[in-house]
Amino acid sequence: MEINYPGGTRANHNNLKSKPTRFNTNYGDRGMGLESELNASNQYYLAHDIAVIHKKPTPVQIVRVNYPKRAAAVIKEAYFNKASTTDYNGVYRGHYIDFDAKETKNATAFPLSNFHQHQIEHMRKCIQQGGICFAIIKFVKTNDIFLFKATDLFQFWDAQKKGGRKSIPKLTIQELGYSINYQLQPLIPYLEAVDQLID
Amino acid sequence: MEINYPGGTRANHNNLKSKPTRFNTNYGDRGMGLESELNASNQYYLAHDIAVIHKKPTPVQIVRVNYPKRAAAVIKEAYFNKASTTDYNGVYRGHYIDFDAKETKNATAFPLSNFHQHQIEHMRKCIQQGGICFAIIKFVKTNDIFLFKATDLFQFWDAQKKGGRKSIPKLTIQELGYSINYQLQPLIPYLEAVDQLID
């Protein structure tokens, strides 16, 4: 519902309060829920000396900074950069771990457009060095979460490049991937699926 | 020399040009030279399929974003966050690699104040998981670069906490660390020292 002020003036949608909302709408729709859940899980793993895995900061190109005081720099102009890698990496049981987390509203398939070419290339190079790479995929409509191996992802990625389908059927993800059930601590126990990859 | 405009008006030091300079002065003094050199070296390692090691983006707390167009978000207010980890990590020869790069103008010792408690703790936890952790230390007056093992760093860090000296003598770094000589490609061949750590 749109609220009109007396006299027909439209509500001001440019006030300070509306901006963080728009920010969330544009950047948080895909991944913010899953991202928070994974961050909480990684905090649990870190606090319990199980693994050291962090989300990398959002890459930002800083153009202009103000220094009202020496200690309090304010960035006044900056732009979002495209990430050149995946979002998460770290170390677990002697292994280099590298993955990206993706949410989809699609009920029956995971669209490959969620990935960028450079992220696929990054994972290929990490695997070449002996790292363990995968995607954490969440179907938000049903809250289903899967760990899907990067090597399986590559098959669909490469097929798409040759004219194949632009998404991975959920049935295939259920078949090839590892289903992860929410629990209390950690919220998303994805390292149990990583254990199966390692062993 | 300060330029005064006719009529005694002082030059405007708030113009666009002056701001990036001040930014460089405050944030780039310590580490920018070494950082660029390491980034170039890591690019070389990546391009030649030798290792996948990246510098993490600067952590920034984004407060306000404008969307003049849908595709062109401009960050209008943001703040620098303290990093909770080291700056560099990645995978090499099956090993998780994690390090920080530090420059010092000091000629005879490396001040431990270059590190923060949380960085030390992060490296301890990575080693516990089987990662390889170290510092790349550059003495800028003489352009001497060393790889210094995190486990050696911890000795000095812990001694300092018990009232010991607040720096590591350069002689000690020469003795315990691995000297790295600049070369053409890569500029800083620090993985040769990592090879010695692994083997």
Q: Is the Cβ of B129 closer than 8 Å to some Cβ of chain A?
A: yes
Cβ contact A80–B75 (<8 Å): yes
Nearest residue on chain B to A51, alpha-carbon basis: B129
Three-class DSSP category at B101: strand
Residue-wise pLDDT for A74-127, tens only, equals 999 999 988 889 999 999 999 999 999 999 999 999 999 999 999 999 999 999
Nearest residue on chain B to A63, alpha-carbon basis: B20
Q: Which residue, chain included where needed, has tokens 């992060």?
A: B122
Residue B144 assigned ligand-binding role: no
Residues of B in contact with A75 (CB under 8 A): 60, 75, 77-80
Mean pLDDT by 10 residues, chain B (199 residues): 40 38 35 85 98 94 85 89 92 98 97 96 98 98 96 98 97 98 94 96
Cβ contact A60–B60 (<8 Å): yes
Contact A146, A179 (CB under 8 A): yes
Distance CA A141, CA A143 (A): 6
Question: Å from B166 to nearest chain A CA?
Answer: 24
Nearest to A75 by CA among B19, B15, B18, B55: B19
Q: Is the Cβ of B127 closer than 8 Å to some Cβ of chain A?
A: no
Structure tokens given for B66:
């404008």
Residue-wise pLDDT for A39-75, tens only, equals 999 999 999 999 999 999 989 999 999 987 766 899 9
Cβ contact B125–A49 (<8 Å): yes
Q: Is the Cβ of A47 closer than 8 Å to some Cβ of chain B?
A: no
Residues of B in contact with A20 (CB under 8 A): 63-64
Domain A18-57+83-198 falls in which CATH fold?
A: Trna Endonuclease; Chain: A, domain 1 (3.40.1350)
Q: What is the pLDDT of residue A170?
A: 98
Cβ contact B74–A74 (<8 Å): no
Looking at this protein, which amino acid is placed at residue B45? Answer: Y
Residues of B in contact with A118 (CB under 8 A): none
pLDDT above 70 as % of chain A = 83
| More confident of the two residues B91 and A19 | B91
Structure tokens given for A90:
């770290």
ipTM of the complex: 0.82
Structure tokens given for B65:
């974003």
Residues of A in contact with B82 (CB under 8 A): none
Cβ contact A57–B57 (<8 Å): yes
Q: Is the Cβ of A125 closer than 8 Å to some Cβ of chain B?
A: yes
Instruction: For residue A54, count other CB atoms closer than 10 A to its CB.
Output: 18
Residues of A in contact with B62 (CB under 8 A): 23, 58, 60
Q: Which residue, chain included where needed, has tokens 């707390």?
A: B61
A54: β partners: A89
Question: Å from B199 to nearest chain A CA?
Answer: 16
Residue B21 assigned ligand-binding role: no
> B57: Cβ–Cβ under 8 A, 6 or more apart, which residues?
A56, A57, A58, A59, A60, A81
Contact A99, A86 (CB under 8 A): yes
Residue-wise pLDDT for A132-160, tens only, equals 999 999 999 999 999 999 999 999 999 99
Q: Which residue, chain included where needed, has tokens 């030798």?
A: B50
Q: What is the pLDDT of residue B69?
A: 72
Residue B152 assigned ligand-binding role: no
> A76: Cβ–Cβ under 8 A, 6 or more apart, which residues?
A64, A65, A66, B76, B77
Domain B35-57+83-198 falls in which CATH fold?
A: Trna Endonuclease; Chain: A, domain 1 (3.40.1350)
Domain limits, chain B: 35-57+83-198
Cβ contact A77–B75 (<8 Å): yes
Instruction: For residue A115, count other CB atoms closer than 10 A to its CB.
Output: 19
Residue B100 assigned ligand-binding role: yes
